[in-house]
Amino acid sequence: MELIEQVSVAKKANIYFEGKVASRSVFFSDGSKKTLGVVLPGEYEFSTSQGEIMQVTSGSFEVLLPNSTTWETFSEGSQFELAANVSFKIRNSAIAEYCCSYL
């Protein structure tokens, strides 16, 4: 199990899509933040307010990246990068998890 050490974690979860997507914010001493999330099966559209790197930590996602018409599969251990102020879609058929790093 990979650990994130010496951090503060928000007690309250970020809940989206009627509870089908939930994440926790993790804060580092240097002021940076990550979110750790769980996604139940479904299809979801998200928007970014800043650049992000999404790492799949378990399961897999199909992702429709901005300006793309083709869904790409990202499995455990893979990642994709998103610019600020874009929208993207993810879908999955089984529970999956992610770690989002903000740029």
pLDDT digits (tens, 9 = 90+) for 19-61: 999 999 999 999 999 999 999 999 999 999 999 999 999 999 9
pLDDT at 1: 67
Helices and strands, number each (H, E), in the chain = 0, 11
pLDDT at 59: 98
Are 91 and 74 contacting, i.e. CB atoms less than 8 angstroms apart? no
pTM: 0.91
User: What pLDDT, in 10s, does the model give residues 72-96?
Assistant: 999 999 999 999 999 999 999 999 9
